[in-house]
Chains A and B, each alone.
Chain A
Amino acid sequence: MAKDTNSTHNEFEKAEHKQEMQHQVISFVMMIIFTIAAFALVVSDVSKYFTIPIILLLAVVQVVFQLYYFMHMKNKDHEMPALMIYGGIAVAFMTILTFTTIIWW
């Protein structure tokens, strides 16, 4: 393993990584809270017309955290990944819309 303790540049990077890690821990805590909220909402027997949109929204927000923080999509050099993920999401959205609306029976 390379011994790389010499440069201040390296210290700067380490600090940067640490800060990023803090953001990731925060997003993890948020994800846990969202998950608990979603389960709590379902257990507490509120009207399903309220529950379903809310838990779907919570899921979407969680996934945004995963993609942007855990998978670093917020960082630079992620334009092409973002393009292809959003492309995939667009096709996914149309597919699911189809299967929930114009499949008869």
Chain B
Amino acid sequence: MSTAVAQKKGFGAFMWDYLTTVDHKKIAHLYLVAGGLFFLLGGLEAMIIRIQLIKPDNEFISAGLYNEMITMHGTTMIFLAAMPLLFALMNAVVPLQIGARDVAFPFLNSLGFWLFFFGGLILNFSWFMGGAPDAGWTAYAPLSTTSPTHGVDFYVMGLQISGAGTLIGGINFLVTIVNMRAPGMSYMRMPLFTWTVFVTSTLILFAFPALTVGLFLMMFDRMFGSVFFDVASGGNVIIWEHLFWIFGHPEVYILILPVFGVFSEVFSTFSKKRLFGYSAMVFATVLIGFLGFMVWAHHMFTTGMGPVANSIFAVTTMAIAVPTGIKIFNWLFTMWGGTIRMTTAMLWSVAFIPTFTIGGMTGVMLAAAAADYQYHDTYFVVAHFHYVIVGGVVFGIFAALHYWWPKMFGKVLNEKLGKWAFWPFFIGFHLTFFIQHFLGLMGMPRRYWKFLDGQGLDTGNLISTIGAFFMALGVIIFLWNVIYTAMKEPKASADPFDGRTLEWSIPSPPPFYNFKQTPLVRGLDALWIEKSEGKKAMTPAEPLGDIHMPYGSIIPFVMSFGLFIAGFGFIYQVDNPVWLSLVFIGMGITLGSMFVRSVKDDLGYHIHKEDLEKGDGQV
């Protein structure tokens, strides 16, 4: 059932295998490929933005297209690149780290991916169907409700569908972590990555419904004539801003927490030390998750909420610096006195610390509500959030990919090329964004199509654009590394980095049932405990027996495809009610496949003990 076998069966069988898979490791591949493609697309949009801003009064692209570029860059990077790439890591690693054979809901796991994928497709179809959304990734009303093209409609439908997928994924990981841990793995023995995924999934559960409602209101206003955001009929535009940020601020913690987990794993492994202050790290993660829900209005300091509300949200925002600081120091102390190996994964992680600290510091500056009136909507804000999102999330994803690549694909990424990719990206990143702090302080507003000559903004913008090209070079070298590794590198061993956690106790890549026998966990860093006692493998917690596995299914794909069809119907029925037929067809497909799923039993099958013994774990 492995990829290699499927390829021998031919391309059609290979595709069918991936379309119907419910195996979390293959779903991880799907998320990685789809998220990676959207990441390249978002990167391309970023390059176009930077080329437009390379010199004053540039005419590279038109103002309208520029608005579409910035909107699509933000939306794509957050929803279609960062989120799925993190889901790729979660899928690839969490079940292995907790010693599980599968996730709690394999079917829903697949559904979550396909919903995200078709949502992303809808959003990007807008480019070819009359124009992309152009109201910024925040889509503030009334700018978004009055935008004349169908662009914002694509935004609404695309995010609604992919958001549903994310919510499903979040619930799946929550239940997986609560119910499927191996014997002996108590909560306080879970690897930190699993902990951060747990907290992140909780945030997804509570944050995404607010976006769902916001998008529904926007959809009703734009497509069905309701007046939520129409002031003339008593509507109130600030409702959208609140709903968006009640979702949107937890969203940034949804993005950053899993990579905090990644860094914790990487620092600990490559320093050959137990993570310093494990329980403080868990506590800080939970605290960040908790505080993350009380800070959203700091995006709205200048909307006139009044001094009381502004002060409350300023204080809660600054409070988040405390648990984040705890984490930074714990990572430093983990490295302190350790046997440090500067691998590529470690390089990205070490680079993250100063970068993210700069982003955190500007965050506290922005949290000061009075000062924020100066910074608001300038490039200072742009610099700030790129320092935390690129310096945090993207660095983290690169670190994680280098660290877990052997577990996902069975080969260690080439170290030399890895470092060659790191340096241009790292230098380019700081070139691009450090200068933007100063551009912002000099008064350059964000989202503007042009800037004028003679205002002292020329050099800064030129440097910024040059930096962007370095970043692009880094990404290209990374892609080359992926191809090179697939062609030239030898097969990796089960444990190429001398790891500490359970995923390194099974072959790379693991068999489709992960663990032949569920391992017995005797403490934090379960594999390391066994190693330090001179054992080569985990002690099994059960005798060798039959393994229950779920069947694959095409239904998730069909279900999501139905919503994809219906999405176009919803968007175009405004022009002509005939399009409503697409809504009925699409919803019919979706509800029909839900019905089929409900009435058709899916009991799964058993791998027999004898086959396991014969195959010796290699299937």
Contacts and interface: CB of A to CB of B under 8 A. Distances in A.
Interface of A: 80, 84, 87-88, 90-91, 94-95, 98-99, 101-105
B293 interface: yes
Given A87-B206, A102-B297, A105-B236, A95 B246 contact: yes
B454 interface: no
Interface in B166-187: 174, 178
Given A80-B178, A94-B293, A94-B294, A103 B238 contact: yes
Given A80-B178, A94-B294, A104 B238 contact: yes
Nearest to A91: B206
7 contacts: A94-B293, A94-B294, A98-B242, A101-B309, A102-B297, A102-B305, A103-B239
B293 A91 contact: yes
A66 to B, nearest CB: 20
Interface of B: 174, 178, 202, 205-206, 210, 236, 238-239, 242, 246, 293-294, 297, 304-306, 309
Contacts of A95: 210, 242, 246
Nearest to A79: B178
Given A94-B294, A104-B304, A99 B206 contact: no
Contacts of A102: 297, 305-306, 309
Nearest to B237: A105
Nearest to A88: B206
A105 B239 CA distance: 11
A103 B235 CA distance: 11
A84 B206 CA distance: 9
Contacts of B206: 87-88, 91
Contacts of B202: 84, 87
A30 to B, nearest CB: 30
Given A88-B206, A91-B206, A91-B293, A99 B239 contact: yes
A65 to B, nearest CB: 24
A18 to B, nearest CB: 30
8 A-B pairs closest in CB distance: A91-B206, A102-B305, A102-B309, A103-B238, A80-B178, A105-B236, A91-B293, A98-B242
A61 B70 CA distance: 49
Given A87-B206, A95-B210, A103 B294 contact: no
Contact of A103 (B236, B246, B293): B236
A95 B293 CA distance: 10
Contacts of A87: 202, 205-206
A105 B234 CA distance: 9
A103 B304 contact: no
A53 to B, nearest CB: 23
A33 B54 CA distance: 71
A81 to B, nearest CB: 10
Contacts of B238: 103-105
A101 B238 CA distance: 12
Main secondary structure of the interface of A (DSSP, over half): helix
Given A84-B202, A103-B238, 4 more contacts: A84-B205, A90-B293, A98-B297, A102-B305
Report which residue of A84, A91, A99, A102 has the largest number of chain B beta carbons within 10 angstroms of its beta carbon.
A102
Contacts of B293: 90-91, 94
A80 B206 CA distance: 15
Contacts of A101: 309
Contacts of B306: 102
A88 B178 CA distance: 18
Nearest to B304: A104
Most buried by B among A91, A103, A104, A105: A91
A30 B372 CA distance: 52
Contacts of A90: 293
B230 to A, nearest CB: 13
A86 to B, nearest CB: 11
A77 to B, nearest CB: 11
B149 to A, nearest CB: 29
Contacts of A98: 242, 246, 297
A55 B113 CA distance: 44
A76 B65 CA distance: 58
B439 to A, nearest CB: 32
A48 to B, nearest CB: 22
B205 A103 contact: no
Nearest to A92: B206
Contacts of B305: 102, 104
B59 to A, nearest CB: 40
B242 A103 contact: yes
Contacts of B294: 94
A54 B388 CA distance: 47
B178 A99 contact: no
Contacts of A91: 206, 246, 293
A88 B239 CA distance: 20
Contacts of B236: 103, 105
Contacts of A105: 236, 238
A81 B319 CA distance: 28
A41 B537 CA distance: 70
Contacts of B239: 99, 103
A99 B242 contact: yes
A104 B304 CA distance: 8
B102 to A, nearest CB: 20
A40 B246 CA distance: 37
